[in-house]
Amino acid sequence: MNEIIMKFRGCVDENMLVCNLIDYVEVILLHDKFKKLGFNITNKDQEDVYIEIIEADDQQLLDDLERYLSLNEKLEDIKLMLKRYDTAIKTHQEYKFLNEDFFGLDKN
């Protein structure tokens, strides 16, 4: 069972490296750029703001929006992966408790 956890941990760590500090900084900088230009992106009205940016008919803004959305999608994927990792660890700990402490079975 520990081998499974180590393998899973390795996959999570590898994928975490894909989304590095530069990605976080870039999404913050793009968000700040949009805000300074009057496009205040919030969870509540993000789709409306995206439409405003598209309607501005500025190729650089469109490129920035595409990059911003791509980075946010990458961050959401990692957030989901971390949630799954947390669930897997908790499941492993519960399994280990039941087998070892409760039933006195397999100590491996």
| Structural domain spans, the chain | 2-96
> What is d(CA 30, CA 70) in angstroms, rounded to the nearest whole number?
12
Number of neighbouring beta carbons within 10 Å of residue 27: 19
The answer to whether the beta carbons of residues 28 and 105 sit under 8 Å apart is: no
Q: Look at residue 91 in the predicted model and tell me its pLDDT.
A: 78
pLDDT tens, residue by residue, 56-108:
999 999 999 999 999 999 888 877 877 877 787 777 677 666 666 666 666 55
Tokens of 80: 């989901």
User: Greater confidence, 21 or 10?
Assistant: 21
Mean pLDDT over each residue of the chain, to the nearest integer: 81
pTM: 0.65
